[in-house]
Amino acid sequence: MIDAALSRMGFQPRQIHYTLRTAIGACIALLLAWALGLEHPQWAAMSVWIAAQPTRGMLLEKSLFRCLGTVAGTVFGVALVMVAGDQPWVLVLGLAAWVSVCAGIGNIWRGYASYGAILAGYSAAMVALVDTAHPEQIVPLGIDRFFTVIVGIAVALVFGWLFSPAQHPDALQGRVRTLTARLIRDMAARLCGALHAAETEHRAVLSEIASIEEMLDPHASGSMRSRRVAKTLRQVLVAQVSALLWMRSERSFPHARELSDALVDCANCLEQADSDTAAVRHLRQALACAQGDATLHDVLQRLHGALGQTLTLEASTERLLKVFAPHALHRDWVGGRQVALRAFVTLLLVGSFWVISGWKPGAYTLLGTAVMVSLFSTFDNPALVMRLVIVGQVMGLTMALVCRWLVWPWADSQLALLFLLMPFVFLGALILAHPRTARFGYDYNFLLLIMLQPSYPLKGEFVPSLMGILAMLAAPCLALLAYQFIFKNSTAQRAQAIRDMMLTELEAMAADPGAVQHRGIWQARLYHRLIHLIRLSDKIGKTDVSTLDYCLNILQIGSLIMRLHALTDSTALDASSARRVQSALGRLSRLRARPQRAVNALQRMADCRHAGHLPRPEVLQQAIKGCAALCSGGLQVQQSPRAHYR
């Protein structure tokens, strides 16, 4: 009956149960921190909101990294205040440098490790700036900060472990099996010339791959077994991408009935949960039948090794994975550097205003800005998110004023202050549970708790309190300006950055004489970046086949580069052919600046009829078409710094 009433009001029963029990945990942490004599018990309640997660594994891992980040940030904040003394410029420079480094690292790392790095940055700001008038009390403040966070995490863990479900990998693994069976069946049909897949089908497959990959890191949280399963599932996704690229690159097929039948049998077994060993056996049979086609053999070998490890989990499959790429993931080094520079410049400007003006509430502005330019920098479109953050903060700050000046004056003890605060905490649970206001909920709770200090008797005046509120509200506005004008970032720009990274790696690979030794790393990173590119394209509603064609062109050129590097170590080439190979590699290493020269060098090699050891003319023509397609995309005007692909 209660759930029905909540549904009529627009609440989702499952979500409101989660937020209400989190609010209860926050109130318990508030009382527990007060009972332990901690000076800022509201920080414990804040930690419950931050640490709460829908599953046990995510809760455990986030709590761990929250502890580590808090320790690192607290230690640095205490040390910085002790070093700075009465020199606020030292404090501003130290915080700007620390927060920017942590924010940059957080944008390079993945999962909750990223969260821990960012938390270490703004935790130092929370310790150093909360009570700037009394730097001699920084050590007790740091200790208080640490123990309130520990209390909040402990309460969140207890509540989460009692009421949150455990991770269930079956659903995710089932999606991977279904998609793999579909792709293998399509490969079998394509071998017989019976499949003419529509472009929309390719987009749907890529979107499903990207959707599954995005769930792998949360799925791996809190368990070594889950992490191992997620790693093997990512190998399967990479193999699926290679299969899809092969189907788009091949246009004519010899008669291959035995190979096709083996693939169909493998797909049938994948659709039956109790036939894992048989599925791997049929795929091994198909692998033996594909010995005459190097490209297809490589695709099937990748699928065989990944499925062998994922489905059967046999020790012998570890040997097969050695033929694959090492486990290399996309890291946004360029984006991390931009985030760090943006945070440093913004905090330096805000801190300079605080120091020069002497406006005491400016410390709150600097604190809020440190949180905004670091915590939200990992979002795909932080400028858009900041607009929502501003609304949530206005709600939280307004309720903080109401609580402090209209409700708390009725209290006659510190315990009464805590009980009078609790209705506002439960209001945050309702805000977070309703679909129309959920996006404002966390900012409401964060600002409400950071601005209210439940110390009795109450001190202070209304005007300074209002100035503090306005100073804190200025932080997201300044962060919004920073996101819009300092290394402006959006989902579309992130997608373009990944495209540029792929091209940069091609150039670096062509210029590196030892590229053949790193072939696996290049392939793994290319496929992973392709998956990320599809995910970003889905978010902006611009996923099309041109994205896949773009990556196919890069894959073809990259494969040719590897063949050319292998030929440079061969003694079978005559002097003329060797010069052509070296010339082509040199031109490909400057593909961005002079793409037409790369096309001309490959064309001269294709026209060389007497050198039988050079790549086949049809392979060279495919690479020439790929270069031409990349040229038509405006390569000649796109310049970006190189990042070595290793």
CA distance 594 to 288: 42
Least confident piece of the model among 130-139, 313-322, 340-349: 313-322
CA distance 67 to 59: 12
pLDDT at 321 over 50: no
Q: What is the mean pLDDT of residues 96-101?
A: 96
Q: What is the mean pLDDT of residues 359-371?
A: 91
> What is the pLDDT of the chain when averaged over all its residues?
81
Q: Which residue did the predictor score with more confidence, 487 or 102? A: 102
Cα atoms in the 13 Å half-sphere on the side-chain side of 289: 18
Do the Cβ atoms of 177 and 229 come closer than 8 Å? no
Domains of the chain, by residue range, sit at 11-166+331-485, 170-323, 491-637
Q: Which residue did the predictor score with more confidence, 167 or 564? A: 564
CA distance 349 to 337: 18
CA distance 298 to 291: 9
pLDDT grade for 342, boundaries at 50, 70 and 90: very high
pTM over 0.85: no
Peptide bond into 464 cis (omega under 30): no
Give residue 638's pLDDT. Answer: 37
CA distance 52 to 31: 18
pLDDT grade for 199, boundaries at 50, 70 and 90: low
Q: What is the mean pLDDT of residues 247-266?
A: 73
Do the Cβ atoms of 170 and 233 come closer than 8 Å? no
Counting Cβ atoms within 10 Å, is residue 437 exposed (0-12), middle (13-18) or buried (19+)?
middle
Which residue from 95, 577, 32 is spatially nearest to 103, judged by alpha carbons? Answer: 95
Least confident piece of the model among 191-195, 277-281, 326-330, 375-379: 326-330
- CATH for 170-323? 1.20.120
Q: Which residue did the predictor score with more confidence, 563 or 634? A: 563
Q: Which residue did the predictor score with more confidence, 38 or 217? A: 38
Q: What is the mean pLDDT of residues 384-397?
A: 91
Element (H, E) at 562: helix 545-568
Give residue 6's pLDDT. Answer: 66
pLDDT grade for 479, boundaries at 50, 70 and 90: very high
Q: What is the mean pLDDT of residues 91-95?
A: 95
Do the Cβ atoms of 268 and 189 come closer than 8 Å? no
DSSP 3-state of 194: coil
Q: What is the mean pLDDT of residues 462-483?
A: 90
Q: Which residue did the predictor score with more confidence, 573 or 381? A: 381
Q: What is the 3-state secondary structure (H, E, C) of 65-101?
A: HHHHHHHHHHHHHHHHHHHHCCCHHHHHHHHHHHHHH
pLDDT tens for each residue of 260-299: 888 888 888 888 766 677 888 888 888 888 877 777 888 8
Phi, psi of 206 (to 5 degrees): -65, -40
Q: What is the DSSP string of 105-119?
A: HHHHS-HHHHHHHHH
Structure tokens at 471: 């100073």
518 Cβ neighbours under 8 A, 6+ residues apart: 509, 512, 645, 646
Give residue 254's pLDDT. Answer: 56
Percent of the chain with pLDDT over 90: 24
Residues in the chain: 646
> What type of residue is 31?
L
Do the Cβ atoms of 476 and 433 come closer than 8 Å? no
pLDDT at 572 over 70: no
Structure tokens at 27: 């109130």
CA distance 626 to 491: 26
Peptide bond into 165 cis (omega under 30): no
Measured from the Cβ of residue 7, the count of other Cβ atoms closer than 10 Å reads 12
